[in-house]
Structure 1
């Protein structure tokens, strides 16, 4: 059995290799949608088991929360380079994609997205929120 890695990109490569060695892999990572596809012997990630929630599962929870509070308009602001200790890049973008895909599939929401610039300080973050969110989404 192989434990880890947490990074989706590394988990993808390792999961493809262990399939040929017939060794299962367990990871707390592998959060992207492809890792959650049905498992069958010909599947790309057949021997991969994820121990936590996926981006899709968190997105479905968030959509239920939005519905509970009757929120119909969603602005997804994300930082592609968030959580670099888990994944070198695209962590935020992969989560934003999962949430947007879930909102789109539901069909009951107006949604917009905004990618943050890298490494904003507090003042720059405040300005970005005023410009992006402003009165349109507040």
Structure 2
């Protein structure tokens, strides 16, 4: 993702809201705009602070951005989201108390983004993220968030169109990875949920089975033998989806 595009989006947000007069000013009269980047510190995530923050800093100081928004100076600060529901909102609240935030970049993790996107609606602070892909973020009355990347609801709609209209399948089994003790890695669940929701809206009487597994001890051969061979006898069509971003 080109972070310079996000910085330009912030500029137009400020102009659209007519709030630039309220912005802080530097000694040379330019507007000072504080960006808080909330991402996990742990490098097990592809979108960790150490991987993403340098790119945002480079973008903020780039000639291209300075040419487009010459009167704005971006102050970029990184904060650890923990990729969880506790750490991320506390970080956001701390920055609001200290008045060091004009806009949030991130979080990416859905469970970290959700509470911040709710509070941002009250704070009137924009939240722009490449995450927040879960179907629930469609509700703009609850979540004050702009998502710049692929969202699972749209993926589900596209897949539902293919399965129903092009392939004509009438019964499905969705298999996805899910660990109930780990709320940070639920991409498979959110992707499956996006498809399930889209298909249920397309065909009200859709018969669907859902099974979840833990990657380390799962046997897909067992799924094929149990569901596809036995259950498809005499049926017109049947499909098994292993939906996983990994």
Provide TM-score, normalisation by structure 1: 0.75
Give the length in aligned residue pairs. 128
The reply on whether 1:104 has 2:206 as its aligned counterpart is no
Aligned residue runs from structure 1 range 47-62, under 5 A: 48-62=145-159
Greater strand fraction, Structure 1 or Structure 2: 2
Provide TM-score, normalisation by structure 2: 0.46
Q: 2:177 aligns with which of 70, 73, 79?
A: 79
Q: Is the 8 A contact 1:33 1:56 kept in 2?
A: yes
Q: Which runs of at least 4 in structure 1 moved beyond 4 Å after TM superposition?
A: none
User: d(CA) in 2 for partners of 1:108 and 1:9?
Assistant: 29
1:22-63 CA-partner distances (Å, limit 9, x unpaired): 2211111111222122x4xxx2213x1001222211111001
Ranked by relative contact order (alpha carbons within 8 Å, sequence separation 6 or more), the top structure is 1
- Give the 3-state SS of the residue equivalent to 1:52 in structure 2: coil
1:46-96 CA-partner distances (Å, limit 9, x unpaired): 3x1001222211111001111112222222111224xx8xx6143322322
Change (3 A) 1:109 1:70: farther
Cα root mean square deviation, aligned? 2.5
The alpha carbon displacement at 1:109 in A equals 6.8
Q: Is the 8 A contact 2:176 2:213 kept in 1?
A: no
What residue in structure 1 maps to residue 108 of structure 2?
6
Q: Which consecutive unaligned segments of at least 5 residues does structure 1 have?
A: none
Q: Which consecutive unaligned segments of at least 5 residues does structure 2 have?
A: 1-102, 233-237, 240-246
> Which structure has the bigger radius of gyration?
2
Q: 1:19 aligns with which of 121, 142, 145?
A: 121
Change (3 A) 1:24 1:77: same
User: d(CA) in 2 for partners of 1:109 and 1:65?
Assistant: 18
Q: Is the 8 A contact 2:108 2:132 kept in 1?
A: yes
